[in-house]
Each structure stands twice: as C-alpha cells, then as structure tokens.
C-alpha cells in the first residue's frame, strides 16, 4: 500500500453522489451522505454528557491514528470548541447564514482532529428551515474526503435537524445515562428515528455516567428488550462510561479527559469505545490499497 501523506487543514472538495439504490432516492440527507464514515452522537435529553463524550471520542479516535472531522451541530448549545480549548474566529452559524464556506470556518485541533465549530450564542438558532438544513447537509456531505471519520454532535431530543443528521449518518450513537428519565427519552428518540427511517443500521447505545457496570448492563438490557419487543429493532450495547469526576475537571480546564486524565476510568472506557469503532488498516507494500478501505467501523 502506498503510504498516505499527512494532510493539512480540512478542505471542502467536490463530492461524488452516491447511487440512489445505495442510500435511497431523493432525500437530501441520503443524497448528501458523505463518503467519509460518519458517526452521529445523539441523545433523548440534555444532561447525559453527550457533547463531552463526542469531543473525547473524536480525540480518542485521533489518538488511534484516525483523521477525524468533528462537527458541532448542536445549533442551540454549541460547546465543543470550549471542551477542546479552541478559539475559532468563525463558526457554523456563518456557514448557515451564507457568510462563509465550510472550509473557511474549520479549525485544526490536536491528535488529528479538525473541528467545525458550532454557532455562537449570537448566531445560534433553535432549528433550521428546510432550505438551510438541506444546504448544511450537502456541505457536510462533501467535507474532506481525505478524512477517515466524521463525528457529528447533535442537539438533544428529536428536532428535525437531529433526525436529518442521523439519517445522513453511517452510524448513530445514542447516549443515555442512569438518570430516571434518560431511558424513556432515549427510547423516544429511537422510536422517532425508526419512524422516520433515519437509521442506516442498528444503532449503538452508550450508557454514560454509570455508577457501576452492573447498573449500566441492567439499563442497556431493558432498553434492548423494549426495542426488540415493541419496535422489532436490535440495538448494539456499545459501551458503558463510568461516572468519573475527571470528566467535569477536564471540562473546566477546557481539555479532553482522554488527554488530561488518560488513566481515569472514563478516559479508559472512551478509548475502549474508540477501539471498537475504528481499527486502522495495516499499511505496507504487501497490502493492496484497492482491495481494502483505509478505515473500518465495526458494529
């Protein structure tokens, strides 16, 4: 295999439209689905640590050698720039307003992560209209095809923006916690995604802020049972992330926990999730680049 040269900041390039047979006919999210493997991180409610998980997961994937585009698509409460300690001049709000292109707002982070920062408070909006949403989906669909993975953090709940971002994804991570209302809210999100035909494959469930592994296993088992019985939907229990004070400490310091506290229980669990999601393909002259893609995402 020819060794891939290191690339610079993300650029928007002309995309190749996928066939309608592969991704469905006519829908903007289907037509604009990126060639880059896309993971959307979603949750049924706020307060479950979704954005922090998305930021740390992107960095953990970068630490494994993946070139990651991290998109802050939580248009009402964007905060990934703060969690990563980055200070963008422009953001997704400028793209949505037609003032900048996507490649003009990206900012290079560390560990192979490129951030598309979310809208500032002044430019944020609760939900896009159909025209601006389609423009955003198509912009993301042609973003940096040299990257290995795109990780998109969405707004909590079942807004149309979240549904359409999940529809364009190759993989959906649904984040829940052990808090009482987290399970029914996550279940409601899954029901809506299934109703809207917005799941390309079985979703992945992540139980965050778990007190014990047994507690996380119990919650995941209940969720899988409900989904199988009432929705005929299989769910992959992808990971349990323990409750860990290292996470809020890292957030206050504006550093990813997997960097500032790499041996903390939460960081170890997030790196294990990253290892499950992405395995580098060996490189060398004995490997044929045409016979295998440069990345692999496992269920």
CATH number (domain holding residue 166): 3.40.50.300
Looking at the DSSP bridge assignments, the partners of residue 247 are none
28 versus 255: the higher-pLDDT residue is: 255
218 versus 296: the higher-pLDDT residue is: 218
131, 52, 49, 196: CA torsion to nearest 10: 30
The verdict on residue 84 lying in a domain is no
The structural domain count of the chain equals 1
pLDDT at 5 over 90: no
Taking Cα atoms as reference points, which of 176, 132, 168 lies closest to residue 152?
A: 168
pLDDT band at 291 (very low <50, low <70, confident <90, very high): very low
Range of the domain at 246: 31-71+146-277
pLDDT at 23 over 90: no
Q: What is the pLDDT of residue 25?
A: 39
Q: What is the pLDDT of residue 153?
A: 98
287 versus 184: the higher-pLDDT residue is: 184
Answer left, alpha or beta for residue 5, where phi above 0 means left and psi between -120 and 50 means alpha: beta
pLDDT at 15 over 50: no
The verdict on residue 20 lying in a domain is no
The verdict on residue 184 lying in a domain is yes
The verdict on residue 186 lying in a domain is yes
The verdict on residue 214 lying in a domain is yes
Q: What is the pLDDT of residue 34?
A: 62
Mean of pLDDT values over 67-87: 94
Q: What is the pLDDT of residue 9?
A: 44
Answer left, alpha or beta for residue 206, where phi above 0 means left and psi between -120 and 50 means alpha: beta
pLDDT band at 10 (very low <50, low <70, confident <90, very high): very low
Q: What is the pLDDT of residue 33?
A: 60
- The phi and psi torsions of 280 (rounded to 5 degrees) equal -60, 145
The verdict on residue 165 lying in a domain is yes
This prediction's pTM: 0.84
Q: What is the pLDDT of residue 108?
A: 93
pLDDT at 183 over 80: yes
pLDDT band at 141 (very low <50, low <70, confident <90, very high): confident
The verdict on residue 240 lying in a domain is yes
Mean of pLDDT values over 45-70: 96
**Contact status, residue 144 vs residue 151, Cβ threshold 8 Å:** no
**Contact status, residue 209 vs residue 49, Cβ threshold 8 Å:** yes
The verdict on residue 86 lying in a domain is no
Report the percent of the chain where pLDDT is more than 90.
67
**Average pLDDT of the chain, as a whole number:** 84
- Could you tell me where the DSSP H helices lie in the chain? 20-23, 28-31, 50-63, 80-83, 92-96, 102-105, 130-141, 160-168, 182-195, 213-231, 246-252, 257-260, 265-277
């Amino acid at each position: 295999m020819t060794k891939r040269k290191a690339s610079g900041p993300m650029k928007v390039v002309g995309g190749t439209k996928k066939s309608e047979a592969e991704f469905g006919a006519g829908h903007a999210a289907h037509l604009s689905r990126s060639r880059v493997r896309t993971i959307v991180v979603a949750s049924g409610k706020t307060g479950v640590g979704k954005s922090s998980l998305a930021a740390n997961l992107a960095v953990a994937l970068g630490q494994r050698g993946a070139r990651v585009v991290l998109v802050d698509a939580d248009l009402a409460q964007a905060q990934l720039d703060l969690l990563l300690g980055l200070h963008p001049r422009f953001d997704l709000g400028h793209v949505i307003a037609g003032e900048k292109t996507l490649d003009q707002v990206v900012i290079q982070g560390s560990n192979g992560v490129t951030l598309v920062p979310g809208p500032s408070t002044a430019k944020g909006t609760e939900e896009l209209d159909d025209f601006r949403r389609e423009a955003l989906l198509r912009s993301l669909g042609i973003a940096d095809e040299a990257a290995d993975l795109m990780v998109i953090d969405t707004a909590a709940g079942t807004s149309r923006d979240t549904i359409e971002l999940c529809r364009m994804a190759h993989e959906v991570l649904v984040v829940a916690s052990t808090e009482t209302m987290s399970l029914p809210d996550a279940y409601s999100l899954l029901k809506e995604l299934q109703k809207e035909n917005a799941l390309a494959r079985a979703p992945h469930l992540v139980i965050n802020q778990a007190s014990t592994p047994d507690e996380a296993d119990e919650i995941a088992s209940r969720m899988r049972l409900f989904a199988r019985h009432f929705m005929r939907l299989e769910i992959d229990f992808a990971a349990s992330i323990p409750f860990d004070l290292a996470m809020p400490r890292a957030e206050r310091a504006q550093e990813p926990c997997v960097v500032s506290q790499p041996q903390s229980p939460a960081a170890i669990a997030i790196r294990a999730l990253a290892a499950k999601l992405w395995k580098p393909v060996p490189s060398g002259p004995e490997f044929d680049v045409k016979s295998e893609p440069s990345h692999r995402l496992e269920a």
